Each structure stands twice: as structure tokens, then as C-alpha cells.
Structure 1
């Protein structure tokens, strides 16, 4: 099969020929129909995460190997199934949950694969959706998306799931308590849409792009802040005082500091973005203000099913989706566009 892979840190995407997997046991082989392009893939392509003063966390030290076939926002058609698969058959169109755990630890047994310390995520430790086919280890990771546009549905596997899980780490709050969403790219816009769908009314979007902020208002943001100058003071001024919660989908030194400084007493900061750096906070303020800081990485299979159900009920506003063909050139161009910060919404690659 054709696959579109990178051969090493910072390498270009090339078209490679790989054996088409043959499913066995609980495995399911799907033909890729849609594959969303996630900003995390730009970090995977560069091969490391920025840990600030602690240097770099190289992904090869965490199980990633080359050539790397990325792509974890996948909708595909079932082609073949293993002998222990009972609920799926060829022709079924499904969304893939890609955050696969080891399957044996307590976290995995509790249905929290994304908490697994030995995860085998599709598009990271296993070949992903920038290819003709994708092999899914168990049919339990497949989600029915009947009635949904496949391109939009693909984004729910990461962009949507990440936003959904992060939002539920700050809720419940009174609808008029300000929640700040930092970063109005694909994931941040989905968070705004999710908050709106769940009935929250006071949502402040923060971004460097006026265009992104305009899209955010259309999806439910009640206020916006252009991220220039003293961002924390701009947030406080716009929201009428320190805020109840902030979700940082950028999460670099500047945005994390601004989010922390904008919180009121007993405020909550959820850190999601992987842009890197570090946050330095006064320890006395942590105690005096009773601040809660938590990290959030994607979500559980149950959360993805709940999100898809929300979308199927028509309760979740759609973020903008830009389609392109699923080719090596399109994968490369899409990653370059994301690295440059010029995408309002999500890029989804489709099989012609």
C-alpha cells in the first residue's frame, strides 16, 4: 500500500510502499477515506517536544520509530476483519479512536487508554492514517458516524476529543462565569463550539489572528482578545475581572503565564497545547489563591462516543474544514501551513 511518511527528524514527507496489513484476531483493516491534519503532527515531524530549561524530549526515546506514518484523525471503510471480530463487516464506515493503550494495565482496563504509560497510539507508535489503509487493533476503537459528514467527523478523533475532554475539566460552572479559551485554531474553536453546545454563555477567545477571532465569535465566543501587549490585563478587562477558568491550547511560556495571571481565587487552568516552554509561578500565590492547574491530553473512548453522539444530535456547531487530496505533497503542504499558523479550522485530507 502507499503510505506518506517521514524518514527522520525534520524530514520531508515522501510516498513509500509498505505491505498491506492482514488483520487477525480482534484487528480490523480499514481503507482510509479521510485523515485530518493535526498540529501535533508538526511536533512529531520535528521529533521532539520543547521542555524549556529541561531541554528536549525526543520522541524516539518514547517508542517512536522511523519511517513514521502519522495521521490520527481517521475515518475509514472496513475492508477485512480478524476472526474474533463480531460487530463489524466490510463496507462499514467508521471513525477511529487512535489513542490506543497497552490493553493490560489498570488504566486500560478502566477504559482510559489515553492515561496508559505504555500507549501505542495510531500515527505515533503504530502506522496512522496518512496511508491507503490503517490497521486498528480492536473493533472497540471504531465509532459509528452515520449521518455525519466524514470530513468533519474525522476531526472529532483528536481536535474534537481534546477540546471535549479539556472543557469537562473546567465544568461545571455557572453559565455566566467567564471561561477563557487561548488559541482559536482547530482545537480551540472546537472547545468554543463545545462550550456553546453545553449551554455556557461567557466564553472569551484569545488569539493572535483577527480572522480566527472572527470565526470564534461565529461559533459562540461572547468576547475576544487579540493577544498583543499585556494579555492577562486585556483578559481581565474584557471579562470584567479575573476569570473562573482558562484552557490554554497554545501552552507556551507567554500564554501559560497570561492564563495563570488572569485567574481569580480558586480559578482553574487546563494546559493542553504542546508548543513547549515552561511556566514559573509564585508558590505562595498557588496556595493563597487556591489555583488548580491540570494537564489534559486527548480523551477516553467513552468521551469520544459521547462527543459523536452530541454531534449526531445536531447540538455541536461545526468548525471550518478545508479539504485536500490525500497525497504526500498535500501532507507536506498541510503540515507547513499549520507550522506557519495560517489555518482557521482544520485541514482534512480525503481519498480521491
Structure 2
């Protein structure tokens, strides 16, 4: 099999050829037909997250080992199964749930493997999807996509799942009554916009400084798009929201977006942070109680939520987010485009000649 691996942090990916693994026990071998390029891949490639004030969080210190095959948004065809694999069929296409836990702790047994402290996420702590094949540790991690194109299905494993889980953290009545403010019009922001609408939300207001992305946000269903660099934008957002901002999904997660969002919230409002751009904020503690605000993080989602999401997409016949496809050999090019902010929507790697 051929993969494109990190062999040194922040250096070009290396094409590697090795024997194709053979599944045993509960394992399943998937021929990768689509692998999304996620912003998290950039942090993994650099090996760190920015904590603000000159501090960083090292991925190596957290257990990441090189060489590593990136890629946690994976969809493809099952080509072989272990002798104990169940409820999976050779020749069928699936999206892979990549957020594996230890499988044994109380958190995993509750169904929240994504929150396991001994996580074994694909593309982070085990080989991922920047390859022509990937070995999945258990058949339960495969979600049937039916006739959905793998290129559409792959991003649901992270950008779709993450935004779906974030939206589900908003009270149903608030979602129904109040427009949701979304920071970011990249792949996450566009996915969040589409899913808020699909879940019966009252509307979406998107904030992004890159006006080249505004048209895509409007096409995804946003009621309006705002440039945070324009004077008085916060007042305009509040006005468009009906006078008060109750719910924010921050797909960026920078010091500026989080601080702007918290300042914008009305009494009882909620900000759910998805993005990992990095930074640091200061929050006066009395305001948390006096304004009864909620500042909440969300880390991807669980397997049950991915199953719900795929069912929702199929039931509502949702269109894919804007997608640029390129062959696996261009994986490093895709990473650089993402880092430079040139990607519109989602970039997805596909087999050569696909």
C-alpha cells in the first residue's frame, strides 16, 4: 500500500510504500476512496497547538509518534474483514468513525469514546486515511453510507460530526427560536450552516473576514454574512439576530473570535467552541454568573451522533459542502492551501485517476 506520511514535523509529507495489512479478529480493511483534509491535520503536522501567551501543547508529549499517516475523515469500500468482524459486508461503502477510545473504561462504555483519556484516534495515534488502504480496528466503527458518494461522506467523520454535536448542545427551543451565529466560513462553518438549517434552526448569521468566502456561506443557507473588520459589526450582528445573540458556534477558536463571541452574548446565551486556531482570553468571573452565560467546548462527537448525522443527510438529501478533490499525491499541496487560507469548503483526497 502507498501512504503519505509525516516523518518530521512541519516538513513535506513522504510517500511510503509498505505491504498492505491483512485484517484479523474484529479488524476491517478499507480501500480509501476519499480522505478529507481537516484543519486539525495542520496542528498534527506541526505537532502542537497554540495555547496563547507564548505557550504550546505538544502532540509528541501527548503520545503522537512518527512516522504518522494523517487523515481522520475517511470513506471507502471494505475489501477484507477479520474472522470475528460482524455487521459489515465486503464490497459495501462506509464512512469510518475515527475517534477510538480504549474501549474498556466507563467513558467508552457510555458510548463517548471520543472523550476517552486513552484515545487512539485514527490519523493521530494510529495510521489514518492519507493512503490507498486503512486498517480499522473494529467493524463497529463503520457507518453504512449506501449510495452516498464517498467524497461527500468522508467529511462527515469530523467536520460534519463536530458541528452536528455542537448544534445538539444548543437547547432545542433556542435553536428553533433564535438565529445561530457562526464564526468562520471554512469547511466547518459551511457544514454548521447547512446542519442548523437541516435541524430546523431559525437561521444562521456567519462572521468571516475573508470576503471571498461569503458567497459560499450564503449558498450554504446563511441569512447574512458579516466582516468582523468592519466597524460596528457586532451591533449589526445583534440587530440581524433580532436584538440579542443567544447561541454562537465558533469554528475558529482564536482569541479574537472567542472574546468577540462572549462579549456579544445576551444574558443566558451560549458559545460552543469547535475551532482550535489557538490563543488565550481573560473572562471576568462575576460575568459568568451575572450574565448566566455558557462557554462550552466540544470535541468531535461520538459514534451514535455520526450514525444520526448520516441518517439525517440521507433523509434530508443534503447536498455536499463545496469540495475540491485532488489525488493523494497532492496531500502536501492540500495542507499548504489550508494553511494559507486558500481552500474554499473542504479539500478531499481521492485515488489517482478517480
Per the normalisation by structure 1, the TM-score is 0.96
Q: Name the SS for the 1:78 alignment partner.
A: strand
Q: Does 1:337 align with 2:326?
A: no
Q: Would the aligned equivalents of 1:207 and 1:213 in 2 still touch at CA under 8 Å?
A: yes
Q: Would the aligned equivalents of 2:179 and 2:201 in 1 still touch at CA under 8 Å?
A: no
Q: Name the SS for the 2:122 alignment partner.
A: coil
- Match of residue 347 from structure 2: 347
- Match of residue 139 from structure 1: 139
The correspondence for 1:307, drawn from 297, 306, 309, is: 309
Q: Name the SS for the 1:60 alignment partner.
A: coil
Runs of 4+ deviating beyond 3 Å: 229-234
- Match of residue 323 from structure 2: 321
Q: Does 1:100 align with 2:100?
A: yes
Residue by residue over 1:302-328, the C-alpha shift from the partner in whole angstroms, topping out at 9 and shown as x without a partner, is 00000100111134342111111111x
Q: Would the aligned equivalents of 1:9 and 1:47 in 2 still touch at CA under 8 Å?
A: yes
Q: Would the aligned equivalents of 1:147 and 1:312 in 2 still touch at CA under 8 Å?
A: no
Question: Structure 2 regions of 5+ residues with no counterpart?
Answer: none
Aligned equivalents of 1:137, 1:89: Cα separation in 2:
15
Cα shift at 1:209: 1.8
Question: Structure 1 regions of 5+ residues with no counterpart?
Answer: none
Aligned equivalents of 1:92, 1:174: Cα separation in 2:
36
Q: Would the aligned equivalents of 2:196 and 2:203 in 1 still touch at CA under 8 Å?
A: no
- Match of residue 224 from structure 1: 225
Residue by residue over 1:248-287, the C-alpha shift from the partner in whole angstroms, topping out at 9 and shown as x without a partner, is 0101100000000110000001011010011211111111
| Pairing 1:64-213 to 2, within 5 Å after superposition | 64-172=64-172, 173=174, 175-213=176-214
Q: Would the aligned equivalents of 1:12 and 1:332 in 2 still touch at CA under 8 Å?
A: yes
Aligned equivalents of 1:297, 1:320: Cα separation in 2:
23
Measured at CA, do residues 288 and 5 of structure 1 come closer, stay the same or move farther in structure 2, by a change above 3 Å? same
Aligned equivalents of 2:175, 2:36: Cα separation in 1:
34
Cα shift at 1:229: 4.0
Matched residue pairs, number? 350
Aligned equivalents of 1:31, 1:335: Cα separation in 2:
22
Q: Would the aligned equivalents of 2:107 and 2:115 in 1 still touch at CA under 8 Å?
A: yes
Cα shift at 1:214: 1.5
Residue by residue over 1:284-303, the C-alpha shift from the partner in whole angstroms, topping out at 9 and shown as x without a partner, is 11111001111011100000
Q: Would the aligned equivalents of 1:270 and 1:294 in 2 still touch at CA under 8 Å?
A: yes
Aligned equivalents of 1:76, 1:219: Cα separation in 2:
26
Q: Does 1:250 align with 2:252?
A: yes
Cα shift at 1:86: 2.5
Q: Would the aligned equivalents of 1:225 and 1:238 in 2 still touch at CA under 8 Å?
A: no
Aligned equivalents of 1:191, 1:315: Cα separation in 2:
16
Q: Name the SS for the 2:129 alignment partner.
A: coil
Q: Would the aligned equivalents of 2:102 and 2:116 in 1 still touch at CA under 8 Å?
A: yes
Residue by residue over 1:9-36, the C-alpha shift from the partner in whole angstroms, topping out at 9 and shown as x without a partner, is 2111110123322211111111111111
Q: Name the SS for the 2:269 alignment partner.
A: strand
The correspondence for 1:236, drawn from 235, 238, 249, is: 238
262-271 or 82-91: bigger deviation: 82-91
Q: Would the aligned equivalents of 1:101 and 1:119 in 2 still touch at CA under 8 Å?
A: yes
144-153 or 174-183: bigger deviation: 174-183
Q: Would the aligned equivalents of 1:197 and 1:315 in 2 still touch at CA under 8 Å?
A: no
Aligned equivalents of 2:303, 2:326: Cα separation in 1:
28
Aligned equivalents of 1:228, 1:260: Cα separation in 2:
17
Aligned equivalents of 1:316, 1:110: Cα separation in 2:
30
Residue by residue over 1:34-53, the C-alpha shift from the partner in whole angstroms, topping out at 9 and shown as x without a partner, is 11111110111111001113
| Pairing 1:9-28 to 2, within 5 Å after superposition | 9-28=9-28
Aligned equivalents of 2:130, 2:88: Cα separation in 1:
23
Aligned equivalents of 2:121, 2:94: Cα separation in 1:
17
